[in-house]
Structure 1
Amino acid sequence: MLAITDDDQNRLPEPNEPDTATPRVLSILSFVLGRLVNRNETLSLSRSSRRLGKNLEAFHGVRPPAITIPKYLNRIYKYTNCSPACFVVGYVYIDRLVHRHPGSLVVSLNVHRLLVTSIMVAAKVLDDEHYNNAFYARVGGVTNAELNRLELEFLFMLDFDLTVTSRIFESYCLHLEREMLMWNGTMLKIESGIHSNAIEDIAEISVEDMESFSSPVSNGGLT
């Protein structure tokens, strides 16, 4: 079981400066993914949908991590220094994955693992310089062996189709922008909450927070 300790935090590089503005895309993605998870959680509880999400069982934890989606995305951004475009492309990959595997649901049990895997893969595709799997595993709160396995699972589920053209990228940016405009009032509240806590060190995640996130996948699945 992996826990993020104070010593481990000291081995991480200096994060982006606290006064550096968090990319707006993180706030938008947090909101969009939060709505998606809430909708799918309701769907997965219905009698006819209990088996949905089976294709994503490799990404399931025993129970949802305590860390929220906004804080988790912010943590990845702060410590990996990946470009903001990686978050959009990571979202493209997740959306592509669920469309290729009908019935798969992004839920609270798998969204964190899907995010760290998809963003890491996107960074390898987009960024000239990026951290290795071991570092992403430490930032993401999973073991290196688990992240290696999740990356392979993710790539095979995508049939190694990692190409994102400029047209596709722009279309997803427009989609996210429309979501922002449609839910602007709620988005402003979310962004206010994130920026008001910008000086908080989100690297301090307790053992309890990460326990389910680092647990054996064999015990996971929709329950």
Structure 2
Amino acid sequence: MLSVSDNHHHHHQHLRRPEPEPSQDEPTPPRVLTILSHHLEKLVARNDRLVLGNRQSQQKSLKGFDGVRAPSISIPKYLERIYKYTNCSPSCFVVGYVYIDRLVHKYPDSLLVSLNVHRLLVTCVMVASKMLDDVHYNNAFFARVGGVTNAELNRLELELLFLLDFGVTVSSQVFETYCQHLEKEMLRNGTALDHMVRPAITNSSSTADATEISVEDHTQSSSSHE
């Protein structure tokens, strides 16, 4: 399960990853990614139906994260890709989810939908990694992994910070609350209770072997995709 400790010096928010598990030849994604992906997919599908049914007014606050069309890569594959190439600690994905949840509660005119979920995820996880991980990749690396341009991700990062009023601190208590919420989601969907957060696995992956993807269909910069 997700755990919190006040004596682990590697994370500024005192968020502790579980003890290392036996290594595997082909490491599977942390369970938290599976649960978070499932939760976000359900939420996005519901919100897409609301927008399609014209029962939700046009969202405004999160417009900056919209693409022209929904990327072809699924939410689970996108999160797995971020985890594989950036080596973010699993806690970063929980904190990234906290940021998204703060946004949708602070701006009720906005919904998490297929047009914005990928950009929100890569931006929120990147900011979380800067808060939690002592060693993290720069914006340019996250941009390539996330399928956006560096300039676009720089803009999205600033947009996120201003929308959150730079409120990117997550206390141990808040972190634990969200862990419990995700665990309830896991049990509700019949998944065995296991270590949801596993230690970040050191991969030899780099941008050199990262398969090119693109979520860069934004109206302002679609022509500048590398």
CA distance, structure 2, for counterparts of residue 82 and residue 219 of structure 1: 27
CA distance, structure 2, for counterparts of residue 102 and residue 161 of structure 1: 18
SS at match of 1:174: helix
CA distance, structure 1, for counterparts of residue 121 and residue 55 of structure 2: 27
CA distance, structure 2, for counterparts of residue 43 and residue 21 of structure 1: 34
1:21 aligns with 2:28: yes
1:101 aligns with 2:107: yes
| 1:62/1:219 contact within 8 Å kept | no
CA distance, structure 1, for counterparts of residue 218 and residue 52 of structure 2: 23
CA offset at residue 54 of structure 1?
1.8
Q: 1:13 corresponds to which residue?
A: none
Q: 1:139 corresponds to which residue?
A: 145
| 1:58/1:217 contact within 8 Å kept | no
Structure ranking higher in helix proportion: 1
Q: 2:129 corresponds to which residue?
A: 123
| 2:37/2:79 contact within 8 Å kept | yes
Q: 1:39 corresponds to which residue?
A: 46
| 1:59/1:217 contact within 8 Å kept | no
CA offset at residue 46 of structure 1?
2.6
The residue type equivalent to 1:214 in the other structure is E
What whole-Å deviation, never above 9, does each CA across 1:2-57 have from its counterpart, x for those lacking one? xxxxxxxxxxxxxx975223210000010000000011011112334141x22111
Q: What TM-score, normalized by structure 1, do the two folds share?
A: 0.77
The residue type equivalent to 1:124 in the other structure is K
RMSD (Å), alpha carbons? 2.3
Q: 1:204 corresponds to which residue?
A: 211
SS at match of 1:62: coil
Structure 2: stretches of 5+ with no match in the other structure: 1-22, 194-208
CA distance, structure 2, for counterparts of residue 219 and residue 81 of structure 1: 28
The residue type equivalent to 1:90 in the other structure is G
Give aligned-pair identity as a percent.
62
The residue type equivalent to 1:70 in the other structure is P
Higher mean C-alpha displacement, 111-120 vs 41-50: 41-50
CA offset at residue 205 of structure 1?
4.6
What whole-Å deviation, never above 9, does each CA across 1:139-162 have from its counterpart, x for those lacking one? 000000000000000000000001
Distance 1:150 1:17, change over 3 A: farther
CA distance, structure 2, for counterparts of residue 81 and residue 219 of structure 1: 28
Structure 1: stretches of 5+ with no match in the other structure: 1-15, 188-201
Q: 1:6 corresponds to which residue?
A: none
CA distance, structure 2, for counterparts of residue 74 and residue 148 of structure 1: 22
The residue type equivalent to 2:217 in the other structure is S
SS at match of 2:61: helix
Q: 1:194 corresponds to which residue?
A: none
CA distance, structure 2, for counterparts of residue 149 and residue 217 of structure 1: 14
Q: What TM-score, normalized by structure 2, do the two folds share?
A: 0.76
